[in-house]
Structures are given as structure tokens and as C-alpha cells.
Amino acid sequence: MKKKKIGRRSGIVVLGYVEMDGMRTFTDEFIRSLWDRIKEDSLDHIWDSEVVKDRKDFLDWAKRPEILISMIIIDKEVAGIGWLHDMGRNYASASFMYFKNFWGTGTLEMGEALTDNWFSFKNDAGEDLIDVLIGKTPAHNGRACKYLNRLGWTILGTIPLLDRGGDMMISYKTRGYGNG
């Protein structure tokens, strides 16, 4: 696929994969096709191979009630996905990945759009749902660690042995309170 150039003027849209009135915002086949793209870009290592082995497992994982997926869309194409998990009273663990043809220029804007979207979630009373996003990134992934820093996440440090025997970098981002 051809590399996509993204700038501040590009229309980045973030859409949740949710069920409303018994219908999902994306079809099952569309979600299964994302797994094909994830495999094609060699990004499948992000998921535990015991949990997600194929298209069916990916769809099952995506439909879990404790996983909240958001699609990052640019020019009607999914540029990446993010998901919240391990949610608590006012926090959630956050993970995201971008497809290879969107790597580079514009990923900062994509990450900002995704985190802004997550911080915009409200409860029925109109109160903010998420104050803190928590990240766990394999420490050996230097590019991702630097990217999180550029995106405004605070890096706390590493915990040994959490990443399949390797170190895991722990980070966080707060909504509007400044980090650090």
C-alpha cells in the first residue's frame, strides 16, 4: 500500500465499535478483515497468541464487553485502531496501533484525535468518565516509547518480566491536568 501523508488539515475521524439498538457500528466481516490487515502488516504480535490466533478469535476479542475499540479513519480508510481495557472508576488502560501505510507523518495527530476522543466520554449525568489513560509498552519498542513521549504521555519507568520475560514501560496521560 502507498504511504499516506497526513497533516493538521486532514479529516481524522474516530469512530467507536459499539452496539446500538442491537446493531454494531461495523460489520463482523469488516472486523475480521482488519485482522487480515493486522497480519499483513506483521502487527499481530500485539495480541496474546493464546487469545487471538485468527480472524474468528479477533472478532470474538473485539466483541468482549470489557474491550472498547475505536477506529481511526482518514479518507474513509481505517488508519489504525485503539482500544480501552482494564477500566476502573476513572481510568482505563489504553492500547493503539497504526497500519504501516500511515506510519510517520501524521501519527501524532492520529494519537491526539484518539486520546481526545477517549477523554470526551461522559456518563448519563454528563460527567467525565476517564481522567487517566494508562499505557503498557514493551520497552524494546523504542519508537513507540519515544512516540508516547511526543504525544504527551508521562513515562514512569519499566517493570521487568511483564513483556514475555522482557521489560514493560509504564506510562500515563491525564485529561487536561498536565502530566508529570
Looking up residue 44, the CATH number of its domain turns out to be: 3.40.630.30
pLDDT 10s digits, 64-100: 999 999 999 998 999 999 999 999 999 999 999 999 9
Q: How confident is the model at residue 177 (pLDDT cuts 50, 70, 90)?
A: low
- Report pLDDT for 112: 94
State phi, psi for 177 to the nearest 5 degrees.
-105, 0
Q: How confident is the model at residue 180 (pLDDT cuts 50, 70, 90)?
A: very low
Q: Cβ contacts of residue 11 below 8 Å, gap of 6+?
A: 74, 75
Q: Do residues 134 and 170 lie in contact, with contact meaning Cβ atoms separated by under 8 Å? A: yes
pLDDT 10s digits, 109-131: 999 999 999 999 999 999 999 99
Q: Do residues 149 and 176 lie in contact, with contact meaning Cβ atoms separated by under 8 Å? A: no
Task: Decide if 2 is inside a domain.
Answer: no
Please count the residues of the chain. Answer: 180
| DSSP E strands, 18-125 | 19-20, 23-24, 68-74, 77-85, 91-98
Q: What is the Cα–Cα distance from 72 to 57, expressed in whole angstroms?
A: 21
Residue 161 has pLDDT above 90, yes or no: no
- Report pLDDT for 178: 52
- Report pLDDT for 57: 94
Task: Decide if 169 is inside a domain.
Answer: yes
First to last CA, the chain: 38
DSSP 5: P
Percent of the chain with pLDDT over 90: 68
Q: What is the Cα–Cα distance from 50 to 100, expressed in whole angstroms?
A: 24
Range of the domain at 50: 12-120+128-174
Task: Decide if 4 is inside a domain.
Answer: no
Task: Decide if 180 is inside a domain.
Answer: no
Q: How confident is the model at residue 10 (pLDDT cuts 50, 70, 90)?
A: low
Residue 5 has pLDDT above 70, yes or no: no
Task: Decide if 7 is inside a domain.
Answer: no
DSSP 51: T
Task: Decide if 41 is inside a domain.
Answer: yes
Q: How confident is the model at residue 106 (pLDDT cuts 50, 70, 90)?
A: confident
Q: How confident is the model at residue 166 (pLDDT cuts 50, 70, 90)?
A: confident
If one compares 177 and 53, the residue with the highest pLDDT of the two is 53
- Predicted structure pTM score: 0.87
Task: Decide if 95 is inside a domain.
Answer: yes
Distances (CA, A) of 144 to 28, 65, 85, 173: 29, 27, 19, 15
Element (H, E) at 126: none
Average confidence score pLDDT of the chain: 88
Distances (CA, A) of 159 to 41, 166, 168: 28, 9, 5
Task: Decide if 78 is inside a domain.
Answer: yes
What is the total count of domains within the chain? 1
- Report pLDDT for 47: 82
